[in-house]
Chains A and B, each alone.
Chain A
Amino acid sequence: MSPEDPHRRTGTLFIACGALGRELVAVLRAAGLPRPTIACLPAHWHNTPERIAPAVREKIRGIGRDYERVFVLYGDCGTGGELDRMLESEGVERIPGPHCYQFFMGTDEFTETAEREPGCFYLTDYLVRHFDRLIVAGLGLDRHPELRDMYFGNYTRLIYIAQTDDPVLRGKARAAADRLGLAYEVRHRGYGELAVFVNRAMAPAGD
């Protein structure tokens, strides 16, 4: 930065999917890290992924201009690589991976699970908490319960990838599996690759 640069950039900004904000804060707290600025975008864009890349770019070019370091916490999330193409042209780094399910579970385990049993439907803490709004209402199952089997007829199992050890969430996840007519399994995996990425991003620059 030249000394006469009128625009001073300091600090770190995370641009995150709303489904990862709370988890990001938990990781920072657990590691005793200072709190960066966090800008969240609506988690329900999950169902309309074409909106994600343009909105993230807007954040990078807007509020992002004030920060020395900017990181993006998002899966590709069905943007078909559009998010990464945009981030490459903006020179901003994203946590690797296609979905948040994958980075919570761990890439190897997720790939192996998906290959062995393609009919798995995944929930995270966030999705369990907001199951009624995002899945039930989001897919219109509240208005049209008869659509359940058109959506989930090919699915066999619901896997709750738990970030926290919370019996209330486990109860909700089991109820969700029952409601969708799927077998239920819970795997407690904590914050997985999200924690690794955040700790690395927050490490002092230059090492």
Chain B
Amino acid sequence: MSDEPEDDIVLSELDDDELVQQMHDDLYDGLKDEIEEAVHILLERGWTPYRVLTEALVEGMRIVGIDFRDGILFVPEVLMAANAMKAGMAILRPLLAETGAPQVGKMVIGTVKGDIHDIGKNLVSMMMEGAGFDVIDLGINNPVESYMDALAEHQPDILGMSALLTTTMPYMKVVIDALKERGIRDNYIVLVGGAPLNEAFAESIGADAYCRDAAVAVETAKELIAERRRSNSAAMNVA
């Protein structure tokens, strides 16, 4: 119909602000092709990959996260949005590596043994990556050994574990106890998440923090890393 201009927005005709606004809307609506197109347009206009990532993609996904938390969006919509963001990130990732975007820290993350839910974990991985973390994602159904191997190999700042089943939550404690046994528990910040968890559970198994969602995960990770670097340098000053 002629009087429905929304149907034929030409992305390349929008100015930068309008385009970023449009990208937030397109992410919200899970429109993958539009996101890819807009990422290319911003890059052509000279935006750094890092700026496209943070201002367009991460900010758009942050809005999606808020509406998911508040029960306005549901799992399918979040998945569609995550898909669109993933497509945008696939374009940016090689460029980010080239242009030396800031590196905040490193995280190894995986869903625990017996559990193959991964939607939440994938979202956390993506938002952590978007916030400048180097993320090594071990996928699903991880036994103690695969966490241990990955920690030894990658020496991350953070270990993240996800569980969505009441029956698999306790496995997080098995992993943390294994870290203690090997005397390496304090080398890592341990973050845990998944819908059935809560703060009391995280505390009872000896994790450093429970994170309700991906946004909280990013904030908590940054805070705890800063805290740790402060106390490390304080310790060095004393020494």
Contact = CB atoms under 8 A, between A and B. Distances in A.
Contacts of A150: 79, 83, 119
A140 B75 contact: yes
Contact of A114 (B114, B118, B197): B114
B79 A154 contact: no
A78 B80 contact: no
Interface string A120-132: 0000000000000
Contact of A80 (B77, B83, B119, B201): B201
Interface string B15-55: 00000000000000010000000000000000000000000
A98 interface: yes
Given A114-B114, A118-B141, A98 B76 contact: no
A81 to B, nearest CB: 7
- Chain A CB within 10 Å — which of B30, B74, B167, B169 has the most? B167
Given A80-B197, A118-B116, A147 B164 contact: no
B115 interface: yes
Contacts of A144: 30, 76, 79-80
B213 to A, nearest CB: 13
Interface in A68-90: 76, 78-81
A111 to B, nearest CB: 8
Contacts of B77: 140
Interface string A154-169: 1100000000000000
Nearest to B30: A144
A49 B196 contact: yes
B118 A154 contact: yes
Interface string A134-178: 000001110110010011001100000000000000000000000
A115 interface: yes
A123 B166 CA distance: 18
Nearest to A137: B76
B76 A147 contact: yes
A140 B76 contact: yes
A78 B164 contact: yes
A94 to B, nearest CB: 13
Contacts of B79: 140, 144, 147, 150-151
Nearest to A50: B195
Contacts of A140: 74-77, 79
Contact of B140 (A50, A141, A154): A154
Nearest to B141: A118
B165 interface: yes
Contacts of B80: 144, 147
Interface centre among B74, B113, B115 (most CB of A within 10 A): B74
B196 A79 contact: yes
B116 A155 contact: yes
A92 B196 CA distance: 22
Interface in A41-79: 47, 49-50, 76, 78-79
A119 interface: yes
A80 B169 contact: yes
Nearest to B82: A150
Interface of B: 30, 74-77, 79-80, 83, 113-116, 118-119, 140-141, 164-167, 169, 195-198, 201
27 contacts: A47-B75, A49-B195, A76-B166, A78-B164, A78-B165, A78-B166, A78-B195, A78-B196, A79-B166, A79-B196, A80-B195, A80-B196, A80-B201, A81-B196, A81-B201, A98-B166, A114-B114, A114-B167, A118-B116, A118-B141, A119-B116, A140-B74, A140-B79, A144-B79, A144-B80, A150-B119, A154-B141
Interface of A: 47, 49-50, 76, 78-81, 98, 114-115, 118-119, 139-141, 143-144, 147, 150-151, 154-155
